[in-house]
Structure 1
Amino acid sequence: MLQHAEQMWWKVYAEGVPNCVDIANDEIENLPPNDQFSMLKGSKFIYTTCGFEFALKGFTSNSDSWHKLEDIKLASSLRRTHNSDIVSEIWKEDCFFGSQYLNGINPTLIRKCFKIPENFPVDEHMVASSLGTSTNLNKELQDGNIYLADYEILDKMTSTNIINGKPQYIAAPLCLLWKNPLDQLVPIAIQLSRTPGDDAPVFLPTDSENDWLLAKIWVRNADYQVHELDAHFLRTHLLAEVFTIATFRQLPMGHPVYKLIIPHFRYTLGINVLARKHLVGPEGYFDQAVVVGNGGIPILLKNAMERVTYSSLCIPDNIKSRNMESIPNYLYRDDGMKIWSAVESFVCNIVNHYYTRDEMVSEDPELQAWVAEIFREGFLQNKSSGVPSCLESKASLIKYLTMMIFTCSAQHSAVNNGQFDYYSWMPNGPTSMNSPPPKAKCVTTMDAILKALPDVNTTARGIIAVWVISKETLDRRCLGNYPDVRFTENTIQKFIKEFQDRLAEISTVIRKRNRAMRLPYDFLDPSMIENSVSI
């Protein structure tokens, strides 16, 4: 068992992917005691997992296809939330489909579209019925009302899973969306192939109900893969682990940066070790229920890592790069920017207290070694990512620390906490597909849709997984809650109190807004955000 931080080492997790902690036999018991789950958290975690598995036992042993959509309700209703009930009622609606790109659990994929991609042959005639007679596609493009969800990252996923003895299928769709005059974001065209042609039709809302529904289900399946492995696992869990290990290895406990960020790494190593063994490892959840499976995970993670940039990890830059500053009802942006600003202000106070000149940052050898190790072990020395390998000023340190705290707390909450709400109704987030994407229109029946969806046991395993990993167990510490006193100065305690008060104000505003919403967005309510990646 590791006893001291200096005994913590790196190992390669997968080619082209951030390195991870090297512990004996990849067992959580071999982590340092402070990085293991507390008895309270560990026992609740086991109880939550085993209890739900028992409740779904009849489903997990059934490898048949679903016979009716209504039958899926039996499995999804064994555990319920207000939001999961709503999702199961409105999942077919186009405006709900579009809203998930703004306020669902993968809110950073969509971007404004100024020109239709060449391999997505959508023309004026195709979408005329969707846009109405008062406008046209070219005008809506010019006015900034067209958006694109592009799953190009899945294009080369040649390694797909076999579940229940059946090959599984994946697509890399292109989905065009329109912000209509009611400020609703709705899909207006979907292509399930990267190569246009007679066997790659562009599906439209004016097609048959089953054709359009299956096309949207395929997009939701693609979104599930990208969300779970890129937005969630890579960009929060794996990066948080890199930050954790480098901090233990390079910063002494008395360093002000160590004191500032260490609460945001609580239980991260523990949950990641469990995830690599039981979720994304051989014979884990992904092998049992997800199309990419254990064999496809390294491929997708490598593809995703090539797209990670510093700006994409900083929400103000991320929003700007995707031209998403002005679209209405984008609650991830609105709430996230408030939290980023609160964190940034808090970090600014701390940094300015300890570093009175820029030279104190650039000449801090422990700080520079820490940043360099994160760049080397986490971002694999990829200069094109824009991630700094050294810090030369107070401003650069403030942004870096703000990114780190936001990633480990608010960003993880945004992509984690709603998984059961949005995925427990399986057709809204199928983990895999039993049939290949349709290559023609007017051939899809409801029976064909049911046969394409995950089998009964695959569905049950998916529901169990999202219940366990999105429901924070006991022993929680919300953002800004620092019961372990590390800063003793009165000035720093004042900064902490100001940070807590500002988060409380943000929470009050969000809760008041949510009371008027049919489907509340509380993933970025500070009272619901954990300090760290701990589940």
Structure 2
Amino acid sequence: MGLYRVRVSTGSSLCAGSNNQVQLSLVGQHGEAELKRRLRPARDQEEAFEEDVQEYLGPLLFVKLRKWHFLQDDAWFCNWVSVQGPGAGGPEFKFPCYRWVEGTDVLALAEGTGRTVVDDPQGLFKQHREQELAERRKLYRWGNWKDGLILNMAGSTLCDLPADERFLEDKRFDFEASLAKGLADLAIKDSLNVLACWNDLEDFSRIFWCGQSKLAERVRTSWKEDAWFGYQFLNGTNPMVLRRCKQLPARLHFPPGMEALRAELETELQGGTLFEADFSLLDGIKANVILCTQQYLAAPLVMLKLQPDGKLLPMVIQLQLPREGAPPPLLFLPTDPPMAWLLAKCWVRSSDFQVHELQSHLLRGHLMAEVIAVATMRCLPSIHPIFKLIIPHLRYTMEINFRARAGLVSDMGVFDQVVSTGKGGHVQLLQRAIALLTYSSLCPPDDLADRGLLGVKSSFYAQDALRLWDIITRYVQGIVHLHYQTDEAVSKDAELQTWCREITQVGLLSAQDRGFPDSLQSLDQMCRFITMCIFTCTGQHSSTHLGQLDWYSWVPNTPCTMRLPPPTTKDVTLETVMASLPNFHQASLQMSIVWQLGRRQSIMVAVGQHQEEYFTGPGPKEVLKQFREELAAMEKDVAARNAKLDIPYEYLLPSLVENSVAI
């Protein structure tokens, strides 16, 4: 009984408002009241009104929303509802929504305090939690894009996605406009170059356009240098392959006359400065056939030495694995004829393109994030504190992955058209890479230790990944310890256990043998698992996404395909190199796609800067405030370091790391 003040916030996207009428009901611990006032919510507006309620409600638990329509259902995007009362000094209750309200079904919003099942001994929210998850499991169903791959959201077209997973208008307009621009530029370049000669490396300048990347311009002029080649393994767009050698690789065969090379490698090995980048994952993968023309793949091994000044220099390249009964593969050296050495490096960079885009970027970033997203929507109700913690990091992931499966790795998609692993090779590589998708590999402290990169001062990726991981860890610990005080509270949270099990056993196809937990039994184990989830959706993805425009725009530096087999002699000419690299159409399409996906996104949310407030109460707000302060301190320190570097490393700069896998 008393006067309640109600505020309703509508989203700012173009179609967030609605012409339909919305009616609210307040549900308290002791009663329920339907409010007489009906709203017509307007875009980007906060509407407030007061209403005298005759019933005694007690502490508020829910707000119920019901949208009425006469002829047309006009969806409404509700941010939140706030209710204060009864009386002038009554408490204020916040009910977060941040989703579309469609149809005429009643939508119940729980008050924004995070609650586990254990936190609800009276069962006030039990029916709400169960009903919400039952409805979500009908909407969010597991699919299997290709046999042998981790699972994904079911559906074949964007229309199959729930409305809450779709791009809002600003994001959709920006994405589709950039795609149209890229295709238009591609058509222009193709028409201009169709009759032009294509016989010199500088001819790639005709399709090079990279006004948004100063580093790409430097790559164009410096890509032939060994120091630039080696730098990319440390701090390029794929810093996930390099590892310190513990012994000389068994596949490295030394023909007679190479004793000095072996001794040099042994010396570096003993000094702890010998590193390798092994692309054996590509061995035996079926290469694409494009317009009736066979393309080619290799499985290179690169041995590199770390110099006292931090430069990583290649020492030897072996392009193929040894075969029984076949001549041993050639070893290419920096002292070889310049064109032979350059072609060997091109082969390595093309192989890195395949492994990066499919294993490091698509599998470890996009597909892994989608598993986390689908499991979260199926297993954690919106009142659960871990749902509130992780949901901002899942925004737009399902749609961008649907678009990738429909346009990039689909039948007749970009990979089939211009990439040497297209037409099935890309799926084969992904299937192989599943075995390497381990829990420890997604946790930078473990991964970097395993690969021997801790303490490498010129590995700015390693330094920044560790710092961002630690910052996210403290953020997760802050939220977790507000809601869980003991290990027992963790182990008895049935919803949390179901979520963890759904990720490991269902989405990742029984990944316990790869170290993923199928239950969470302690606070430390829980915090590490959640940190892995958030880092995967933020820093892990950004570290393998943001560098594409810089390092892939100049196509000879990282060719998407190779049109001749790997060389079997060192008698290599410029004509051989040009005939091996992509033709002008392949290069133009690579440039266009790289620009569209790799450019700095105008519609993005930086890590930790989401505006949605899923939690209420001062505790979570203070934890988020501390998280943002630590990110700002990292931003300042990284910027100061980068100012002293010849090549600034920005791919884990917090202002550029997106809060979710959204591109």
Normalised-by-shorter TM-score class:
over 0.9
Match of 1:254 among 383, 390, 395: 383
Write the distance in 1 (CA, Å) between the matches of 2:550 and 2:427.
27
What residue in structure 1 maps to residue 654 of structure 2?
Answer: 526
Q: Which amino acid aligns with 1:188?
A: M
Determine if the alignment matches structure 1 residue 40 to structure 2 residue 167: no
Q: Which amino acid aligns with 1:142?
A: Q
Determine if the alignment matches structure 1 residue 164 to structure 2 residue 291: yes
Write the distance in 2 (CA, Å) between the matches of 1:328 and 1:402.
25
What residue in structure 1 maps to residue 575 of structure 2?
Answer: 447
Write the distance in 2 (CA, Å) between the matches of 1:127 and 1:203.
15
Query: Could you say if the C-alpha distance between residues 174 and 13 of structure 1 is closer, same or farther in structure 2, counting changes exceeding 3 Å?
Result: same
Q: Which amino acid aligns with 1:518?
A: D
Q: Which amino acid aligns with 2:448?
A: I
Q: Please give the secondary structure, in 2, of the residue aligned with 1:294.
A: coil
What residue in structure 1 maps to residue 248 of structure 2?
Answer: 116
Q: Which amino acid aligns with 1:184?
A: K
1:464-508 Cα distance to aligned partner (Å, 9 max, x none): 111111225333111011211111110110110000000001011
Q: What TM-score do you get using the length of structure 2 for normalisation? A: 0.77
Write the distance in 2 (CA, Å) between the matches of 1:495 and 1:451.
57
Query: Could you say if the C-alpha distance between residues 182 and 518 of structure 1 is closer, same or farther in structure 2, counting changes exceeding 3 Å?
Result: closer
Check whether the contact 2:210–2:216 (CA below 8 A) recurs between aligned residues. no
What residue in structure 2 maps to residue 90 of structure 1?
Answer: 222
Determine if the alignment matches structure 1 residue 182 to structure 2 residue 313: no
Determine if the alignment matches structure 1 residue 281 to structure 2 residue 281: no
Moved more, 347-356 or 193-202: 193-202
Superposed, which structure 2 residues align to 1:22-421 within 5 Å? Answer: 22-23=154-155, 26-60=156-190, 66-77=198-209, 79-122=211-254, 126=258, 128=260, 136-157=264-285, 159-195=286-322, 198=327, 200-421=329-550
Determine if the alignment matches structure 1 residue 14 to structure 2 residue 146: yes
Write the distance in 2 (CA, Å) between the matches of 1:93 and 1:321.
29
Query: Could you say if the C-alpha distance between residues 287 and 399 of structure 1 is closer, same or farther in structure 2, counting changes exceeding 3 Å?
Result: same
Write the distance in 1 (CA, Å) between the matches of 2:274 and 2:349.
19
Shift of 1:136: 3.4
Shift of 1:513: 1.7
Write the distance in 1 (CA, Å) between the matches of 2:473 and 2:258.
46
Query: Could you say if the C-alpha distance between residues 193 and 286 of structure 1 is closer, same or farther in structure 2, counting changes exceeding 3 Å?
Result: same
Write the distance in 2 (CA, Å) between the matches of 1:323 and 1:91.
26
Q: Please give the secondary structure, in 1, of the residue aligned with 2:164.
A: helix
Q: Please give the secondary structure, in 1, of the residue aligned with 2:606.
A: coil
Check whether the contact 2:642–2:648 (CA below 8 A) recurs between aligned residues. yes
Q: Which amino acid aligns with 1:5?
A: R
Moved more, 30-39 or 191-200: 191-200
Write the distance in 2 (CA, Å) between the matches of 1:410 and 1:45.
22
1:345-403 Cα distance to aligned partner (Å, 9 max, x none): 01011111101010111111111111111112322103220011111111001000100
Q: Answer with 1 or 2: which has the greater Rg.
A: 2
What residue in structure 1 maps to residue 558 of structure 2?
Answer: 429
Q: Please give the secondary structure, in 1, of the residue aligned with 2:302.
A: strand
Query: Could you say if the C-alpha distance between residues 272 and 250 of structure 1 is closer, same or farther in structure 2, counting changes exceeding 3 Å?
Result: same
Write the distance in 2 (CA, Å) between the matches of 1:79 and 1:181.
35
Q: Please give the secondary structure, in 1, of the residue aligned with 2:616.
A: coil
1:307-349 Cα distance to aligned partner (Å, 9 max, x none): 1111000000000111111222100000111100000001011
Write the distance in 1 (CA, Å) between the matches of 2:245 and 2:274.
5
Check whether the contact 2:300–2:348 (CA below 8 A) recurs between aligned residues. yes
Q: Which amino acid aligns with 2:602?
A: L
Q: Please give the secondary structure, in 1, of the residue aligned with 2:582.
A: coil
Structure 1, unaligned runs of 5 or more? none
Shift of 1:427: 0.8
Q: Please give the secondary structure, in 2, of the residue aligned with 1:178.
A: strand
Determine if the alignment matches structure 1 residue 487 to structure 2 residue 601: no
Moved more, 192-201 or 80-89: 192-201
Check whether the contact 2:395–2:662 (CA below 8 A) recurs between aligned residues. yes
Query: Could you say if the C-alpha distance between residues 124 and 82 of structure 1 is closer, same or farther in structure 2, counting changes exceeding 3 Å?
Result: farther
Check whether the contact 1:251–1:367 (CA below 8 A) recurs between aligned residues. yes
Check whether the contact 2:253–2:328 (CA below 8 A) recurs between aligned residues. no
Write the distance in 1 (CA, Å) between the matches of 2:310 and 2:256.
21
Q: Which amino acid aligns with 1:40?
A: D
Q: Please give the secondary structure, in 2, of the residue aligned with 1:527.
A: coil
1:76-96 Cα distance to aligned partner (Å, 9 max, x none): 126541111011111111011
Structure 2, unaligned runs of 5 or more? 1-74, 76-99, 103-134
Write the distance in 1 (CA, Å) between the matches of 2:398 and 2:292.
34
Write the distance in 1 (CA, Å) between the matches of 2:210 and 2:279.
32
Write the distance in 1 (CA, Å) between the matches of 2:464 and 2:256.
36
What residue in structure 1 maps to residue 6 of structure 2?
Answer: none
Percent identical: 37
Shift of 1:199: 5.6
Check whether the contact 1:199–1:440 (CA below 8 A) recurs between aligned residues. no
Moved more, 464-473 or 239-248: 464-473
1:97-134 Cα distance to aligned partner (Å, 9 max, x none): 111011001101111112112221248974858x9xxx
Write the distance in 1 (CA, Å) between the matches of 2:505 and 2:162.
23
Q: Please give the secondary structure, in 2, of the residue aligned with 1:220.
A: helix
Check whether the contact 2:375–2:507 (CA below 8 A) recurs between aligned residues. no
Check whether the contact 1:217–1:428 (CA below 8 A) recurs between aligned residues. yes
Q: Which amino acid aligns with 1:71?
A: D
Write the distance in 2 (CA, Å) between the matches of 1:121 and 1:296.
27
Shift of 1:515: 2.1
Write the distance in 2 (CA, Å) between the matches of 1:294 and 1:501.
47
Query: Could you say if the C-alpha distance between residues 387 and 63 of structure 1 is closer, same or farther in structure 2, counting changes exceeding 3 Å?
Result: farther
1:173-223 Cα distance to aligned partner (Å, 9 max, x none): 111001123321010000111016646210000100001000000000110
Write the distance in 2 (CA, Å) between the matches of 1:516 and 1:116.
35
Write the distance in 2 (CA, Å) between the matches of 1:468 and 1:451.
27
Determine if the alignment matches structure 1 residue 464 to structure 2 residue 589: no
Q: Please give the secondary structure, in 2, of the residue aligned with 1:282.
A: coil
Q: What TM-score do you get using the length of structure 1 for normalisation? A: 0.95
Q: Please give the secondary structure, in 2, of the residue aligned with 1:533.
A: coil
1:389-425 Cα distance to aligned partner (Å, 9 max, x none): 1111110010001001000001100000110110010
Moved more, 138-147 or 211-220: 138-147
Query: Could you say if the C-alpha distance between residues 127 and 448 of structure 1 is closer, same or farther in structure 2, counting changes exceeding 3 Å?
Result: farther
Structure with greater proportional strand content = 2
**Higher RCO (C-alpha 8 Å, min separation 6):** 1
